[in-house]
Amino acid sequence: MTSLGPPDDTGRSLDPHLRRYAARAAGMTASEVRALFSVASRPEVVSLAGGMPNLTALPLDSLSTEIAGLVSGEGLVALQYGSAHGLPELRDQICEVMGLEEVHGHPDDVVVTVGSQMALDMVTRIFCDPGDVVLAEGPSYVGALGTFAAYQADVVHVGMDADGLVPDALREALAACERAGRRVKFLYTIPNFQNPAGVTLAVPRRAEILEICAAHRVLVVEDNPYGLLGFDGQTYPALRSMDADNVVYLGSFSKTFAAGLRVGWALAPHAVREKLMLAAESATLCPPTLNQMIVSRYLATHDWKGQIKSFQQTYRERRDAMLAALEQHFPPGCTWTVPAGGFFVWVTVPEGVDTKAMLPRAVTARVAYVSGTGFYADGLGSRQMRLSFCYPTPERITEGVRRLAAVLSDELDLARTFGPTSQRIGSGPQVPAPDTA
């Protein structure tokens, strides 16, 4: 059988399928975060780049025993297809988990998904036509930007400050879209310990944000993977708890239990839930049954709230190590956010330094981060970077920040000598830079 010749008439393409792809495939490019992973995973590199949760505190032996019991005792269910809706007992337990953030949902309105990433993909699938606008914080989660691009939705960023999304910026963004005749489908927001900025939406702003969206008839998609990881055990009322009809809530066990099981969910208004389930069925038929049973059994038999407390403590120690190292080592002119939970610190460097251009030099100095440009759909972020404190030990974090500070100082010296003069803008804890609007 002879192979197909290149449909590309020029005959010069390396990919003979080039002209066959859907228009949406043009938006599918390797994220900066992903391109980094292969380099940053070398053991000598301190990776402040990834968002991998720390699992060392998990009770692997008792989990092993429980899972063995599931397979030997209920294997004919655990290894069989299930429904696209998800296991009823797990959906009950998910409602209990959401109750910790004041959400009172009905288990019928929960759809279990392959991680909350799939829930976000399904929400985008049912709501977004090509050219529709999604509003999102600037900066926003890189995986969400990838999903929106895959559905050819355009992201319009909305500015944040130390109290999260700025209501006036939201009003302005909506007004600008309306003036331009653009159809805004939803606001995508991570209200708690935001990825990547590390800030949290102040409680008084929550009702205001919801009112603005309701008045403009724009749905709210609330992504809340970190809400239970407040370092002092504090939680905030979810947006969904204040407006059950206009919020689709996305939750995940990836940060509070085990990312590798890929169990997440959406809680949606009833009519939307039906569409989500149909979309999910055509995407994967059903989420893995065994994984759902493992999460359900874990919630039923383990002190999962105690485990979350242990995670909070681990991450607080690491955040503290990172903030202390930043204070000690980072050159003047740098600013950063002070997260009260979650995984990330967002750093702004002085003018004259381009974090994307600096990255190869940082990796050469055996430290990795993610350049801020990965978190914007519009090219901003070259003076920002995301530093993750979730995975390395405090000692490694300190060493990584020290290495990064040295690279940054060299960059600043170069910029002062050869490039634009860096503007001294004060140092110390700061909110996301104004250019995040």
Select from 187, 201, 259, 377 the one that contacts its own copies (CB under 8 A).
259
* Distance in Å, CB of 5 to its own copies, minimum: 8
For position 22 contacting its own copies by CB under 8 A, the verdict is yes
* Distance in Å, CB of 127 to its own copies, minimum: 6
Task: Give the binding range for its own copies (CB under 8 A) out of 74-82, 160-168, 368-376, 422-430.
Answer: 74-82
Provide the β-strand partners of residue 368.
47
> Which residues from 81-120 bind its own copies, rule CB under 8 A?
81-84, 114-115, 117-118
* Distance in Å, CB of 59 to its own copies, minimum: 9
For position 310 contacting its own copies by CB under 8 A, the verdict is no
Select from 34, 104, 416, 424 the one that contacts its own copies (CB under 8 A).
34
For position 67 contacting its own copies by CB under 8 A, the verdict is yes
Q: Which of 250, 119, 129 is nearest to 183 (CA)?
A: 129
For position 202 contacting its own copies by CB under 8 A, the verdict is no
The answer to whether 420 and 351 have CB atoms below 8 angstroms apart is yes
Task: Give the binding range for its own copies (CB under 8 A) out of 52-60, 225-233, 306-314, 363-371.
Answer: 52-60
Q: Under DSSP, is residue 372 helix (H, G, I), strand (E, B) or coil? A: helix
* Bond before 139 cis per omega within 30 degrees: yes
For position 75 contacting its own copies by CB under 8 A, the verdict is yes
Q: How far apart are CA 84 and CA 254, in angstroms?
A: 20
For position 217 contacting its own copies by CB under 8 A, the verdict is yes
Q: How far apart are CA 245 and CA 251, in angstroms?
A: 17
Select from 16, 107, 394, 419 the one that contacts its own copies (CB under 8 A).
16
Select from 52, 162, 324, 437 the one that contacts its own copies (CB under 8 A).
52
* Distance in Å, CB of 434 to its own copies, minimum: 30
* Distance in Å, CB of 114 to its own copies, minimum: 5
Q: Containing H/E element for 271?
A: helix 270-284
**Which of residues 296 and 436 has its CB atom nearest to its own copies in the complex?**
296
Select from 289, 314, 388, 422 the one that contacts its own copies (CB under 8 A).
289
**Which of residues 210 and 408 has its CB atom nearest to its own copies in the complex?**
210
> Which residues from 219-258 bind its own copies, rule CB under 8 A?
219, 242-246, 254, 258
Select from 40, 45, 49, 78 the one that contacts its own copies (CB under 8 A).
78
The answer to whether 102 and 266 have CB atoms below 8 angstroms apart is no
Q: How far apart are CA 292 and CA 62, in angstroms?
A: 17
* Distance in Å, CB of 166 to its own copies, minimum: 19
Task: Give the binding range for its own copies (CB under 8 A) out of 17-25, 168-176, 321-329, 361-369.
Answer: 17-25
Select from 39, 162, 202, 207 the one that contacts its own copies (CB under 8 A).
207
Q: Which of 113, 431, 161, 64 is nearest to 262 (CA)?
A: 113
For position 60 contacting its own copies by CB under 8 A, the verdict is yes
Q: Give the Å distances, CA to CA, from 123 to 14, 23, 135, 189, 248.
A: 34, 20, 14, 13, 8
The answer to whether 234 and 202 have CB atoms below 8 angstroms apart is no
* Distance in Å, CB of 210 to its own copies, minimum: 5
Select from 95, 272, 353, 433 the one that contacts its own copies (CB under 8 A).
272
**Which of residues 53 and 196 has its CB atom nearest to its own copies in the complex?**
53
Pairing of strands 367-368, 46-47: parallel
Assigned token pair, 403: 């290495």
* Bond before 196 cis per omega within 30 degrees: yes
Q: How far apart are CA 316 and CA 309, in angstroms?
A: 10
Q: How far apart are CA 209 and CA 167, in angstroms?
A: 6
286: Cα within 13 Å, side-chain hemisphere: 15
Q: Give the Å distances, CA to CA, from 385 to 24, 318, 346, 434.
A: 28, 18, 6, 14
Provide the β-strand partners of residue 165.
160
**Which of residues 75 and 426 has its CB atom nearest to its own copies in the complex?**
75
**Which of residues 22 and 180 has its CB atom nearest to its own copies in the complex?**
22
Q: How far apart are CA 319 and CA 172, in angstroms?
A: 34
Q: Under DSSP, is residue 281 helix (H, G, I), strand (E, B) or coil? A: helix
Q: Could you count the other beta carbons within 10 Å of the beta carbon of residue 310?
A: 13
**Which of residues 190 and 405 has its CB atom nearest to its own copies in the complex?**
190
